[in-house]
């Protein structure tokens, strides 16, 4: 049985974590891969989107399951991770923005991959740095943690950026490459703001193809 437990996470809210999780699930479903989402984010963004989508796409079969889960209890989260390990295909977790939640320890230690979206913006990079410190500290105290990191430059507007800023972007990518794999950039597009949990448009596929194919290839090779 092929099983991949993948956590979408970052300390900083608003970097597109939940959206990226939905897009990845939609992309995998479009590629006829088995996938499900477990929404552990306190805001339940994905769960609420699915409820809304059920009314709009009432004549369509759901392409994958979305479940919500409370991360506050570490023991229950440990049980969830063990159960997820017995699930065929890709199990995606949308994690809370607050990485200090106790229940996140079993999630991160049980994950095969952690996907961390970021933008080239000072506050986002500071928060991403804090998140990496938490993950590194967890890895040092928890030997069974083997998750590999993907860093995803997300919603990047390539039309802007001074020479100094572009240099900083390259330096940022170089730092993250020392800690994990950096995917091709996902550029900012209007279509990526119009997302649902039932289907992925051609424009959306085009925007995420480089990053997602990169990750899928690495995940399947692991």
- The CA distances from residue 73 to 88, 97, 112, 142, 153, in Å, are 25, 17, 21, 18, 32
Q: What is the mean pLDDT of residues 212-221?
A: 96
Residue 54: phi and psi, rounded to 5, are -60, -35
pLDDT in tens, 20-64: 999 999 999 999 999 999 999 988 999 999 999 999 999 999 999
pLDDT in tens, 120-135: 887 777 788 888 888 8
d(CA 166, CA 159): 11
Going by CATH, does the domain composed of 3-221 fall within 3.40.50.300? yes
Domain ranges of the chain: 3-221
């Amino acid at each position: 049985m092929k099983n991949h437990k993948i956590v979408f996470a970052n300390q900083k809210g608003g970097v597109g974590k939940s959206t990226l999780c939905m897009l990845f699930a939609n992309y995998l479903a479009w590629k006829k891969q088995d996938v499900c989402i477990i929404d552990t984010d306190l805001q339940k963004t994905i769960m609420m989107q699915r409820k809304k989508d059920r009314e709009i796409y009432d004549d369509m079969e759901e392409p994958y399951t979305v479940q919500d889960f409370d991360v506050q209890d570490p023991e229950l989260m440990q049980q969830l991770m063990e159960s997820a390990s017995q699930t065929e295909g890709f199990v995606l977790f949308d994690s809370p923005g607050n990485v200090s939640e106790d229940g996140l320890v079993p999630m991160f230690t049980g994950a095969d991959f952690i996907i961390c979206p970021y933008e080239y913006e000072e506050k986002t990079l500071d928060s991403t740095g804090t998140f990496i410190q938490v993950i590194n500290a967890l890895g040092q105290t928890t030997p069974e943690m083997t998750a590999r990191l993907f860093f995803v430059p997300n919603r990047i507007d390539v039309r802007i950026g001074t020479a100094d800023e572009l240099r900083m972007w390259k330096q940022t990518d170089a730092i993250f490459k020392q800690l994990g794999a950096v995917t091709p950039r996902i550029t900012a597009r209007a279509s990526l703001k119009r997302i649902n949990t039932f289907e992925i448009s051609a424009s959306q596929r085009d925007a995420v193809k480089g990053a997602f194919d990169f990750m899928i290839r690495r995940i399947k090779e692991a």
